[in-house]
Amino acid sequence: MDNKCQCGGDQKDERMEKILKPYKQDKSNLIQILNDVQEAYGYIPRDAQLAISEYLGVPMAEIYGVITFYSRFSLKPKGKYNVAVCLGTACYVKGSEKILDKLKEKLGIDVGQTTKDGKFSIEATRCIGACGLAPVFTVNGEVYGKATPELLEKVIDEYMNK
């Protein structure tokens, strides 16, 4: 198998080659490679999936299955500020659905979408392990606990002004 990435433009080729180079062409490296691609691109583009498929000899369907199984991975670019609302049991019981509704209303987008300016995206997550702070939302991993729709609105306004 050829170690070169055949995934489109020169810049992508170089970036994917750099990502793939440290890994042996072994299927057991799939998740680590996907993680590196997610870090580099902010999501896992189709061209990168094709390059990984060729490099590891893994069918595209299998790669897609892994990407969609783990919530860590995304097939779409996320906004500069990824806002995730926890819908786990503790958060849901304490009103996280109202927070999510307020977020969708404020940004004018739905879960899984990104604002037209690329600044915000919305994600609905399951338990993030902060049940004692329920309900919880995060912005790029920063946790906001004991959240209310009002707190969400204040935080989003601050990020809008950055």
Give the mean pLDDT per block of 10 residues along the chain (162 residues).
Answer: 43 83 96 95 93 97 94 87 96 97 97 94 92 96 96 97 90
The predicted pLDDT at position 115 comes to 95
The predicted pLDDT at position 114 comes to 93
- Give the other-Cβ count within 10 Å of 52's Cβ: 26
Interacting residues of 35 by C-beta distance below 8 A, sequence separation 6+: 72
The predicted pLDDT at position 12 comes to 54
C-alpha dihedral sign at 44, 47, 48, 54: positive
The predicted pLDDT at position 72 comes to 80
Torsion angle, CA of 74/76/47/72, rounded to 10 degrees? Answer: -10
